[in-house]
Structure 1
């Protein structure tokens, strides 16, 4: 039984990761067309969006008791893990070729993602409170 559970979890993450990666590439292409191939901007936007969504989901929707474990894995580490890209940030930092510019880019990238995650948590928290009001509380014996 345990072996099937682990296999199903892994499958959910792999499929979600493929979907997230495809979405990142698609959005990167779209943003590169808008910002004239400034992929520095698109990577910051993509990571901020993924961080926001993960914060929102973790704080709100995933607190619901009926949310299946496989779905959390497929969307969190899977889709959003494949969607966001730390390696892309590091690659772009190498292209800056200026120590202060690199430091500024890294600070902007990490700061934007942290802010987006906190915003997602803040906006997702009311969903957790609504769920707590609807769910009957279990009494400890």
Structure 2
């Protein structure tokens, strides 16, 4: 039950984040969909980072993985938004722009997901310090 609730709350958060970016970076149907591209590339990186890092820790509860992965990132990024943008661009006579957008989305998403996996893995497997040398004075 906790996982379902985490996904529902995460979905609200991810959708809100997506709407915020879409409103901040609006575009017409015949223009390059910068907001959708940014959203999907950031989502690919973050999911890769989480899967390579936080998800590998046995102490990470499944409801956290479900809430962030399926909930937040599942509602934040969508393949349907990419395909809708490609269809709109193509329909507006911008086939070259549609092809460019699809290529950047696919290749960029793969590269950023791989980078996220690598960085997450490096962070997750970095040894934790056993002592604090400044006795907390920097806080």
* TM-score past 0.5 threshold: yes
Q: Which has the higher helix share?
A: 1
Partner in structure 2 of residue 51 of structure 1: 44
Is 1:127 paired with 2:123? yes
Is 1:61 paired with 2:54? yes
Partner in structure 1 of residue 82 of structure 2: 89
Is 1:21 paired with 2:45? no
- Structure 1 residue 54: deviation in Å? 0.4
Q: SS state of the match for residue 130, structure 1?
A: coil
Runs of 4+ with deviation above 3 angstroms? 36-39, 98-101
Q: SS state of the match for residue 24, structure 1?
A: helix
Question: Structure 1: 5+ residue runs without aligned partners?
Answer: 1-6, 135-141
User: Counterparts of 1:123 and 1:53 in 2: how far apart (Å)?
Assistant: 10
User: Counterparts of 1:42 and 1:14 in 2: how far apart (Å)?
Assistant: 24
Partner in structure 1 of residue 67 of structure 2: 74
TM-score norm. by structure 1 comes to: 0.78
Number of paired residues?
125
- Structure 1 residue 94: deviation in Å? 0.9
TM-score norm. by structure 2 comes to: 0.79
Q: CA RMSD in A?
A: 2.2
Question: Structure 2: 5+ residue runs without aligned partners?
Answer: 131-139
